[in-house]
Amino acid sequence: MQQSIHINQSSFYIFDETQSRLKKINFSENTINTSTVITIGTFDGVHIGHQKIIQQLVNASKEGHLQSCVLTFFPHPRMVLQKDANIKLINTIDERSQLLEKAGVDLLYIKTFNKEFSRMNAEDFVKQILVDVLHAKRVIIGYDHRFGRNRSADINDLRKYGEVYGFTVDEIPMQDVEDIAVSSTKIRKALLEGDLDTANSFLGQPFILTGRVTKGKQLGKTIGFPTANVYIEETYKLIPKHGAYIVRSNIGERIVYGMMNIGLNPTVNGDKESIEVHYFDFSQNLYGEKIQVEVLFRLRDEQQFDSIENLKQQLERDKVFSQQYISKNYAQ
């Protein structure tokens, strides 16, 4: 039986199969059955390489009066097929959704990736998902894309299926595909090494962390630097190298800047990794709130100080530098 995804032309929709639900953003009663132009991939980071593909997708949707659709997978295939439970991703699935919406995508289909799905043959994948569910009229895919059981099918097979099921196939050039692979690898490596400049350059925007504010030891408050302790539930989310960073958040309708420390708090004998943000000129109670932190600049490595007083003095120096950096680089 053919399925329909109903979307509004001015809305961004996510069909999250992992949660068996259709999330509607800016929902309108004026829904329509739609034909789509699709691209397929993990799109971790939605970085500058991905953005070129997304722009091609969005342009194609406008040209053909179609809805732009990204088909992505979760969990990451490596987590399932290679039993690589320790793989760390640049984005959580919610962050990825947010970035794709920002890039102008109309519809995101998050397909559950499990062993059963990995054994689906190529034609069934095309017929049951691309055609029956997503109503593909055009597919934009890399020259080296492989799909179906044992990755047995390629772009030439997809073109043949397109002739049967009524969609065309556009090939993403080799250089663009290689840019995507290289950028993802370089971003992960850069973040783990503390090279935030390189990571943000490839991302085309600041790296983000999203989590819920929980109560910590409240030591920062006693030395004049109260912090929001950010708990990130998704264990697969990549956390940058321990250290101090300049950050920015949009809280309510206000943009606030601050400093973040990622690490173990060795000066106070900490033994558990924490993410703590001190916002400048901000006193709102954030306990229980979900916040997003944009990581703008790396200040220094995490350090162990001889005393709390020495730690406080370093934080004062960090604050002065941070505020000068923010004043110079960001409009207030």
Over residues 169-199, the pLDDT tens digits come to: 999 888 887 777 788 889 999 999 999 999 9
Confidence of residue 5 (pLDDT cuts 50, 70, 90): low
Whether the CB-CB separation of 112 and 16 falls below 8 Å is answered with no
What is the four-CA torsion angle of 185, 190, 193, 196, rounded to 10 degrees?
-160
- Tokens standing for residue 159: 């073109």
Q: What is the pLDDT of residue 216?
A: 76
- Tokens standing for residue 71: 């088909």
Round the average pLDDT of the chain to a whole number and report it.
88
Would you give the DSSP letter of residue 131? I
Sign of the torsion angle spanned by Cα atoms 274, 295, 199, 313: negative
The residue ranking higher by pLDDT, 59 or 9, is 59
- Tokens standing for residue 29: 């009663």
Q: What is the pLDDT of residue 10?
A: 53
The CATH-assigned architecture of domain 206-329 is Beta Barrel (2.40)
Q: What is the pLDDT of residue 182?
A: 80
Residue 289 corresponds to which amino acid? E
Ranges 26-40, 44-58, 205-219: which has the least confidence: 26-40
Q: What is the pLDDT of residue 56?
A: 94
The residue ranking higher by pLDDT, 207 or 82, is 207
The residue ranking higher by pLDDT, 87 or 95, is 95
The residue ranking higher by pLDDT, 259 or 81, is 259
Mean pLDDT in residue range 199-222: 89
SS3 of residue 212 by DSSP? strand
Rounded distance, CA 279 to CA 230, Å?
13
Mean pLDDT in residue range 52-57: 94
% of residues, the chain, pLDDT over 90: 64
Domain limits, the chain:
6-185, 206-329
pTM over 0.85: yes
- Tokens standing for residue 85: 């439970």
The CATH-assigned architecture of domain 6-185 is 3-Layer(aba) Sandwich (3.40)
Peptide bond into 75 cis (omega under 30): yes
Confidence of residue 266 (pLDDT cuts 50, 70, 90): confident
pLDDT at 141 over 80: yes
Q: What is the pLDDT of residue 2?
A: 45
Ranges 201-210, 242-251, 265-274, 276-285: which has the least confidence: 265-274
SS3 of residue 84 by DSSP? coil
Confidence of residue 22 (pLDDT cuts 50, 70, 90): low
